[in-house]
Structure formats: structure tokens, C-alpha cells
Structure 1
Amino acid sequence: MSVVPERRLALLGGGFSTDDDGLLDDWVLDQVPVPRPRVCFIPTTSGDAPAYIEQFFGAYQSRSCEPSVLHLFRREFDDDALRTFLLSQDVVYVGGGNTANMLAVWRAHGVDRLLREAFDRGTLLCGISAGANCWAEGSHTDSFGPLTHLSDGLGLLSGSVCPHYDSEPGRRLSYQAAVADRALPAGWAVEDGVGALFTGGLLTDSVTRTPQACLYRVEPGKDGGVDEQAMQCRLLVAAQQPTSTA
């Protein structure tokens, strides 16, 4: 009897591009039960920015994994090779940038379909900012300049996502207004420093690298308001280095 792979994705409020401690990057790799997981970074949201790619390699080449990058603005694979490459990954990590532009480019190259297939096969999908937005049905974004709602996404996670819930002016109130007005469905608000793992569409782990950061569930409330529920987050700590004895 064949085993059905778990469908998993992670919303990140930090990682190699924003943090120096690497705690969220280590947490991502800990979710993959293989000795050297294959980790593909997709930097479409930034237009495949070279500096962003260098940051990724700088963080992941020193870890026990096999890092790679998928370029779409300078595409290297034909359709068959692209499918083979993406479906061979254990982790797909999507960077931050412009959510709307990224989704359009992915659809032009068929990456959206391949990510769905990888997800169904058990690849862990994750990302920060736009790389967290993209997995849900809708999201809160500044892709068009001012903060607004985007009723678009891959729909691998039901509901909506709001990144930078605590760190960018206007995010919290604007997202709450979109949920209250039902411009966006109920969803998850991610503060910087938080990681949230979903398995089969359900929240199965929530962590933070800073004690004050939190993950919130935001739903329409009574009288045109919202209900905001803080989820308990496990505090990540750096591994202790063994001490030497004389």
C-alpha cells in the first residue's frame, strides 16, 4: 500500500535575508528528514536579483543541504528539464518582493502548476513576505504601491496571508479592514521573526526567534470588526556549542 505524501508549507517572517542568527533557516531544514535536503531558492519576486541570490548561497552553502536557484528571467531549462528539476527538490524557498509580478511570471512559465505537483508529492514549500503570500488564496500586499488586498494566489493554503504584520506601518489595520469587509477571507498574520508550518492545511507548528513576535489568526467578527487570536509560538534558541575540557 503506497504512502500518501504529506502536503506541507511554511510561512516565514524572517530567514537568511533579514536575520543573522539563522534560526528560521535551521528550523526549515529540520522539517525535512533527509541527511542533505535539496533546497531550491526561487527569487522571481526580486527579478532574480544577483545580490539576493548571493545571500541565499552564503547562508545555505554552509549548511548540510544542496542549495540551488531557479532563474526565470534568464531561464536555463526547457519544460521537461524544469519539471524534473523542481520535482527533485526537498524544499522550495521563495523570496520576498512583488507578489503580483511573481505570480504572473510563474504562470507564464508553468511554474505554478509544477509547484502544485511538487506540493502533492511532499516537497516543503516555504517563503518570506511575497514568498509567504503566494501559497494562500489571497494576501495583503504592496505589489501595487499602497497596501491593498490581492485576491489571487496558488490556493494551496485556504484563506489569506498578511506578512510584516507588526513591522510595517498600516499593515495591521489595513489587513484587518480587508478581512472585516470580506475583501479577503480569514487568514494568518505573520509578524517578523515567526515561522508557521501547515500540514494538510492545518497549523502544526509555530515558532519565533524573538520572544515578542507572534502568529495571529484573523477572522471576521461582529459589527464589522475582526477577531484576532494570538497563536502560541515556540521560542527557537541557538544550539549550544560543546565546551572543551583540558
Structure 2
Amino acid sequence: MTTILTLGGGGHTMPHVHGLPFSPIDELALELTGKDRPAVCYVGTAGGDEPGPALRFREVFADVARPTVLTLFNREEPDAFGTDAIGPGDLERILEQDLVYVGGGSTANLLALWRLHGLDLLLAEAAERGTVLVGVSAGGNCWFEGSSTGSFGPLRPLGDGLGLLPGSNCPHYGGEPGRREGFEQAVASGVLPDGYGVDDGGALLWRDGVLVEAVAETASAGVVRVRRTPDGSVSEPVAVRRLV
């Protein structure tokens, strides 16, 4: 059974969203592995493998898991990535992880590099073997058929996702100017298939490509289902389970 958790924003990469010592959504992600101290891997391709997020991931998860980092760049910076980092020459080690956590940045760049390195196929195989896939913003977009992205500068639809999840996704739905309107227009025009708009602090839990529930680590984060209609599109609120 494949398990994927997609965040609109939040988790350890955006601690200001929940304002807590440890993200409740990240706690849920760890619980989904069913392990007391799971092997967890951060993938920062969308952000150009900046060392800062990788180091923060290691620090945040050091006491509750066995963290490592996958990098397609900058293997010469072991202080940030760690001597156990997974690099371009040993990507198969991703299959050993209990959880893979994909950070935000450029959805388009992430997809292009993953496909060049074959990482898209390895992650799909890992998911089939039971690895929990988690992603925030671009890291959540990538699993869907399409998404709303700022990869090209202005916000625009991208219909070239991995397709592990059906439909389309819009992170930061109510938190960034133009996200809501652009996503609804893209669905209304048929450029993107029906999908979900997820606020910062919200997340969608999927099993075998079926939405199980929406959750939130704040009191106000919401999720909507956006559907195409003969007159345009309609946005319908999705019930959210509050983790706080």
C-alpha cells in the first residue's frame, strides 16, 4: 500500500506556521511509518539542495528518527549533508528509507532533475515497498498529475506531474496572492484537472491514490476541493481533522 502525505505549507520547513517545538504534521508522518525510530531522508532538489534546509532537517529529526539527506548537488559539503548522504551514484539507497521528505522550491526543476537521474522511478518503487512519501509545497505538487507553481516566475499551471496521485494540487492556497484565483481559473478552463487547494498548515493523506483525510496543524488551515463545472469551477470545503 502506498502512503503519501502532501502539505500545503508548514511542517519543519515552515515552523512559523504552527509555532510549536515540533510540527504535528511531521509527528503524523513519523507515525505513518509504524517504526519507533524510522530511517528518514530529506530531498531538497526543488530548492537546489541548499545546505541550510538539509541541516535543519537533521537537527529536527535527530532525536526521533535516523535522518539522512539525498543530494544531487554539492557532495563536497559534508558538514551540511553528512558523510552518510545519498548522492547521484547510490540513489538506490532511497529504497532503504522508511520515510522520504521532499522540500519546497521549484516544482518544474525538481521534476526535470528527478527524471534525468531516474529518481522518479526509484521513489515510485519505494512507495510500493512501503516507504512513506511526504512533501511540502513543490514537494507535494510533484506527486499529482498537475499543480499550481511559481517555477517560471509568475504563478501558472503545470500539467506534467508524476501522477502518483490523481488530479491537481495548489499549495499555499489561501496564503499567497493569486494562488486561489489562478488555480480556480486553471481548473475552470480544463488546463488542470479537478484538484485540491491546501492552506499553509494543512495536509492531505493518501493511500493507494485515494484521499483518506485532510489534517491541519493550526486552528484555521483549510482545504477545498475545486471542480470544473459547465459555468466555470466550484470550490467545496473538505472536512479537516485538527491535530492541535
Aligned-partner SS, 2:133: strand
CA distance in 1, matches of 2:183, 2:88: 39
* Match of residue 91 from structure 2: 82
Higher helix share goes to which structure? Answer: 2
1:150-200, Cα deviation, whole Å (9 max, x unpaired): 011111001111000010000000000000000000111111101210011
For structure 2, the residue ranges without an aligned partner over 5 or more in a row are 76-85
CA contact 1:165–1:190 (8 Å) conserved in 2: yes
The answer to whether the 8 A contact 1:135-1:157 is kept is yes
Q: What CA distance in whole angstroms lies between the structure 2 residues aligned with 1:158 and 1:203?
A: 9
Distance 1:175 1:77 in 2: 35
Question: How far, CA to CA, are the matches of 1:129 and 1:78 in structure 2?
Answer: 24
| Greater mean deviation of Cα atoms: 168-177 or 107-116 | 107-116
Superposition misfits of 4+ residues, deviation over 2 angstroms: 74-79
Residue deviations 1:16-56 (CA, integer Å, cap 9, x gap): 01124221111111111111111110001111101111221
CA offset at residue 77 of structure 1? 4.1
Q: Is the 8 A contact 2:41 2:100 kept in 1?
A: yes
Match of 1:135 among 140, 143, 146: 143
Whole-angstrom distance in 2 between the partners of 1:30 and 1:166 = 28
1:96 pairs with 2:91:
no
Name the structure 2 match of 1:241.
none
1:95-148: CA deviation from partner (whole Å, max 9, x where unpaired) = 000010111111111101101111111211111000000000111000000010
Match of 2:42, SS state, is strand
Q: Which residue of 1 aligns with 2:240?
A: 233
1: CA distance between counterparts of 2:188 and 2:88?
Answer: 44
Tell me the equivalent position of 1:242: none
Cα distance between partner residues in 2 of 1:78 and 1:146: 31
Q: Does 1:151 align with 2:151?
A: no
Percent of paired sites with the same residue: 46
Deviation at 1:205, TM superposition (A): 2.3
Partner of 2:13, secondary structure, is: coil
Residue of structure 2 equivalent to 1:29: 30
Secondary structure of the corresponding residue to residue 140 of structure 2: helix
> What's 1:3 paired with?
none
Choose from 3, 9, 13 the match for 1:17. Answer: 13
Alpha-carbon spacing, 1:78–1:214, altered in 2? closer, same or farther (3 Å): closer
Structure whose alpha-carbon radius of gyration is higher: 1
Q: Paired residue for 1:166, among 174, 182, 185?
A: 174
Match of 1:67 in 2: 67
Q: Quote the offset at 1:74 in angstroms.
A: 3.3
1:220 aligns with 2:220: no
Alignment TM-score, normalising by the size of structure 2: 0.90
Instruction: Give the unaligned 5+ runs of structure 1.
Output: 1-5, 238-246
- Native 8 Å contact 1:142 1:148 kept in 2: yes
How many positions carry a matched residue from both structures? 228
Find the aligned partners of 1:233 and 1:211 in 2 and give their Cα distance.
10
Is the 1:194–1:215 Cα contact (8 Å) retained in structure 2?
yes
Distance in 1 of aligned mates of 2:88 and 2:170: 34
User: What is the aligned partner in structure 1 of residue 83 from structure 2?
Assistant: none
Where 1:185 maps in the other structure, the secondary structure is coil
Structure 1: distance between partners of 2:197 and 2:10: 14
- Specify the alignment match of 1:54 in structure 2: 55
- Structure 2 residue corresponding to 1:7, chosen from 2, 12, 17: 2
SS in 1 for 2:11: coil
Question: What value does the CA root-mean-square deviation take over the aligned residues?
Answer: 1.3
Contact kept in structure 1, 2:72 and 2:88, CA below 8 Å: no
**Cα offset, 1:10, TM superposition:** 0.7
